């Protein structure tokens, strides 16, 4: 896969303690993304995918932007599917 490691599943969670401090009072709860290979996922050689889970934290504004981008890509992917059928 061109030297890239891919995960085929993703989950978003609010995890206790995953916060970003701010200047002044309070902190921001971060949205944690977990990219992982669920059961039955195989690599390019047909073997069970064993890549470790990957994590990243997003600010709520970043999570909303990503959600909008994902929805847009999903709509376009569905439209392409309809065009090819």
Residue 3, domain member (yes or no): no
Please state the domain count of the chain. Answer: 1
Please tell me the predicted confidence (pLDDT) of residue 83.
78
Flag residues of the chain having pLDDT under 50: 1
- Are 38 and 31 in contact by the 8 Å Cβ rule? The answer is no
Residue numbers of the domain that contains 34:
9-84
Task: Round to whole Å and give the CA distance between 17 and 28.
Answer: 10
CB atoms within 10 A of CB 6: 14
The whole-number pLDDT of residue 85 equals 67
Give the pLDDT confidence score for residue 54 in this predicted structure. Answer: 95
2 assigned to some structural domain? no
CA 18/CA 59 separation, integer angstroms:
10
What is the spatial distance between Cα 33 and Cα 54, in angstroms, rounded to a whole number?
8
Residue 53 has a pLDDT of 95
Phi-psi bin for 7: left (phi > 0), alpha (psi -120 to 50), beta?
beta
Residue 1 confidence (pLDDT)? 45
């Amino acid at each position: 896969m061109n030297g890239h490691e891919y995960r085929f599943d993703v989950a978003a969670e609010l995890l206790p303690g995953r916060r970003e401090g701010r200047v002044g009072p309070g902190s921001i709860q971060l949205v944690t993304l977990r990219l992982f290979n669920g059961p039955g996922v195989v690599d390019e050689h047909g073997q069970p995918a064993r890549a470790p889970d990957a994590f990243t934290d997003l600010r709520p504004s970043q999570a909303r932007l990503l959600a909008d981008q994902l929805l847009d890509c999903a709509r376009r992917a569905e439209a392409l599917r309809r065009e090819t059928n």
